[in-house]
Structure 1
Amino acid sequence: MSAVAGRPDVVGVGEAMVLLQPEPGGDLASADRLGVHVAGAELNVCAAIARLGLSASFASRVGDDPFGDRVIAAVRTLGVGTGLMKRDGGFPTGVFFKDMRPDGRRRVHYYRSGSAASVMDETDAKGIIESRPRALVVSGVTVALGEGPEQLVRTLGTTAAEAGALLVVDPNLRPTLGRQDQVIVAVRDLLEVTDLLVLGQDEAGPLFGETAPEAVFASVPQRTEVVLKAGPEGVWCRDGDARPVHVPSTARHVRDPVGAGDALLGGYLAARLSGASAERAARIGSLLAGRVVETLGDLEGLPAPDEAAGLMAGLGRPR
C-alpha cells in the first residue's frame, strides 16, 4: 500500500480555503460567533486517501498571512503532505462563508477571486510532476479559478503519463464559481488522457448531453475507468472493457451532503491503488460517502484509523 520512498501515492491539486460559518441553523446576517474551519474539494480527497493509509500530498498556493498558516496547519493535521504548497506574499488566502439552514439548505458565499491559489499556473506543474505520484487528482474547481489554474490543469494532463502517474479527473461543476463553459471544454479535452473519471450524474448532462449510465459510459473513451455518482441511487463503475457495475448507497439519512463526492473519490482511488477491483473500490468509496453525509462537515464522517485499516485489509497487491 505504501509508495516508493519519497514518492506520494496521490497528489491533489487545488485550493483550500478558510471557512467561517455559524452554528447549524444560524444566520450570517445575525450570528455573533462563527466557527473557523479549513475546506477544499481536492484537500478532502487527499484527507480520505491519507485516512485509508496511503500517502497523499496537496499542491496549492496560500497567502503569506495567518489564514495561510491555518490552512497549512490543517493540511498537516489531516496527515497530508505540504511540500507542494507554496506561499505567495502578493495574494491572500481564499475564504468563504456558509449558512446551514434548519431545513438542510446551504448558502455559500465565496471570497476567492484574486486569492493566491487563483494565480497558480503551469510553472507549478514542475514540482508536482517531479514528485512522481502514482496518481494525480485534478478538478474542474481548479479550472474555474482562472486562466492560470486552467493552464496548470492542462499541463498536468499532458505530462502525467510521462511521470508515471494515473490522471484522475473530477469535473466538479460549480456554476456559482463561473467559467463553467471553460471547465466543460477543459474536461472534454482531457478525456483522451484521463485514466479515471469520477463525475456526478447531474454533471454528465452538461458534459455529454446524457445522464443514463449506459449513455454516459458510451460517451467516454473505452480505456478510461469511470465512476458515475447518482446520490441516493448509489454509483455505477466501469473498468475498461468490463461490464458496468451498480453499487447502492449506504447512507441512512442525509445531514450535510458537502464532501460526500470527495470522500467517495478518495475511498475509491485508495482502494484501487491498493489492488481492489472496481466494484470493491466503489463499495469502500460509497461507505465513506455515506458516512460523510450523515455528519455535519466535510470530513467528520471519515472512519477512525483502526476502522480504516480494517476496510483496506486484504485488498491485494498495489496496483
Structure 2
Amino acid sequence: MTWPPAPAPLGTRLDVVGVGEAMLLLQAPPPSPIEQADALSVSVAGAELNVCAAVARLGGRAAFLSAVGTDAPGRRVRRAVRDLRVEDTLLREDPARPTGLFLRETPADGERRVTYYRAGSAASALDASAADLLAAQEPPRSVVVSGLTASLGPGPRRLLERLVREPADAGTAVVLDVNLRPALGIDDALATMRRLLAHVDLLVLGDDESGPLFGTTDPAEVLAAARAAGVGETVLKGGERGCWLWDEGLRHVPVHPTRAVDTVGAGDAFLGAFLAGRLAGARPHAAAVLGARIAAGVVAHPGDTDGLPDRTTAHRLLTEALGPSPHGQTTDNYGPDPVP
C-alpha cells in the first residue's frame, strides 16, 4: 500500500495517470430525440479523462493512457486532451481500429439515453503491453482505473490487472473508480475488481454499485467490507445525498448546493478533486468537501467538464481544503485558462 500519499505540491511531478477510453460524443439538444434533431453538438467525453481534467485544473500534472484511431474522431480526442491541459504522451494511435463514439439524447420524458459505438474501437484493443508506456518513465504518484475500462474487453482487463498489481513496487498509488455500466455488462468487471481490491489504495464507488460489489449499501458496512478486502481508503457516493468516508470516524459530506443542469461528469469531477486534495495533503473530509464543491460546478453546467472552475478559483478552493498549512503548495503551475 502507498496510501495515504506523502503530501507534496501538485505539479512537481506526474500526479495522476488516468486509464480508459475517450470517445467522440454526438448529442441532440434536449428535448429532441436523435431521430428528430436537426443538428447534433460535437464534443469528447470519457470518465477517466474527466478525472484527469479536474486534477489538471487544480494545478496537478495528469496524463491520459488510452488509444485512438488514426481518424478525425481520434484527432478530435487528442485535441480535447491537450485543451484540458492533460498530457497526451501516453495516448497511442491504432491505424487498424477506429475511435469510439456515442450518441446521447434527453427526450421530453427526461430519461437520458445513450447509444455506444465502441465495439472494436482502438481503446477496446488495449492490452497489458500498454503498461510498458508507464514503465518507461518516472512513476506517477497515482494511477486511476475503473470498472468501465474493465468492461471493454479481455485486453483492457489484462491491462488493469497489470497496472493494479505492479504500481506499489514503484510507489504509485492505485485508485479504483467502480463506475459500473450495465449497458456494457458488469459481471466480468465485478469479477476483475474483486480480484484486485487487495491492491487498491483508494476506492470510490456509488451506493448503487456497492450492492453488487459488497452486498450492502449501508455506508458503515460498505467501508468495513472494503477495509476487510484490503482497500486503503474508501469513499461511498450517494448522489444527491452526498458521500461517506472514514476520517477519525464515519463522516458524511453533503452535496454542495447548486441548481442541477447536467449531472454527467459530476462523479468524475468529485474523484479528480478528492484525489488532488489528498495528494496535496488535505485530510479525507476536507478533500471530500473540495470534491463536492468542484462537482457542484460541473452539475450546474452542460457537458462533462464545462463547469470546472477557472484555475484561480480552483487554486483558492484547494488552498482552503489544505487549511493553514498547505504543505508547500505553490501557484507555479497556474496560468491562464486554455483558449477553447
The TM-score normalised by the length of structure 1 is 0.95
Work out the CA distance in 2 between the residues paired with 1:143 and 1:263: 20
- Which amino acid is 2:148 matched to? V
Please point out which of 219, 226, 231 is paired with 2:234.
Answer: 226
Structure 2 partner of 1:236: 244
Residue 134 of structure 2: aligned partner: 128
Superposition deviation, residue 33 in structure 1: 1.2
Aligned partner of 2:334 in structure 1 is: none
Q: TM-score, normalised by structure 2?
A: 0.89
Summarize the alignment of residues 22-171 of structure 1 with structure 2, pairs less than 5 Å apart.
Answer: 22-131=28-137, 132-171=139-178
Give 1:250's match in structure 2, choosing from 256, 259, 262: 256
Residue of structure 2 equivalent to 1:16: 22
Over the matched positions of the two proteins, sequence identity in percent amounts to 49
Decide which moves more: 29-38 or 87-96.
29-38
Output the amino acid matched with 1:87.
Answer: E
Query: In structure 1, what is the Cα distance between the partners aligned to 2:273 and 2:39?
Result: 34
Amino acid of the structure 1 residue aligned with 2:265: G
Question: Cα distance, 1:252 vs. partner?
Answer: 2.8
Any conservation in 2 of the 1:19–1:95 contact (CA below 8 Å)? yes
The CA deviation string for residues 277-313 of structure 1, in whole angstroms up to 9 with x for no partner, is 0000000001111221222111111111111011112
SS at match of 2:82: helix
Q: Alpha carbons of 1:3 and 1:293: their partners in 2 closer, same or farther (altered >3 Å)?
A: closer
> What's the secondary structure of 1:9's corresponding residue?
strand
Instruction: Return the letter of the residue paired with 1:236.
Output: W
Deviation of 1:104 (Å): 3.3
Structure 1 gaps of 5+ residues are: none
SS of the counterpart of 1:53? coil
CA contact (8 A) 2:144 2:175 kept: yes
SS in 2 for 1:263: helix
Does residue 277 (structure 1) correspond to residue 287 (structure 2)? The answer is no
Alpha carbons of 1:201 and 1:284: their partners in 2 closer, same or farther (altered >3 Å)? same
Q: 2:203 is paired with a residue of what secondary structure?
A: strand
1:257 deviates by 1.3
State the Cα deviation string for residues 187-235 of structure 1 (Å, max 9, x = none): 1111111000000011000001100001101111265111110011101
Report which stretch shifted further, 229-238 or 216-225: 216-225
Shift of 1:27: 1.6
Judge which range, 102-111 or 15-24, deviates more.
102-111
Q: Residue 195 of structure 1 aligns with which residue? A: 201
1:104, 1:256 within 8 Å by CA — same for their partners in 2? no
- Aligned residue-pair number: 314
Equivalent position of 1:296 in the other structure = 302
Q: Which moved more, 1:218-227 or 1:277-286?
A: 218-227
Letter in 1 for 2:71: D
SS of 2:59's partner is: coil
Corresponding letter in the other structure for 1:84: L
Using the TM superposition, give the Cα deviation of residue 114 of structure 1 relative to its aligned residue in structure 2, in angstroms.
Answer: 0.2
Per mean C-alpha deviation after superposition, the further-off stretch among 308-317 and 270-279 is 308-317
Asked which structure has the greater RCO (Cα within 8 Å, sep 6+), the reply is 2
CA shift, 1:101, in A, is 2.6
Contact 1:232/1:251, CA 8 A, preserved across alignment: no
| Change beyond 3 A, Cα 1:318–1:246 | farther
Q: What residue identity is the alignment partner of 1:273?
A: L
Q: 2:192 aligns with which of 186, 190, 193?
A: 186
How far off is 1:92 after superposition?
Answer: 0.2
Which secondary structure does the structure 2 equivalent of 1:43 belong to? helix
**Letter matched to residue 69 of structure 1:** R
What's the offset of the Cα at 1:170? 0.4
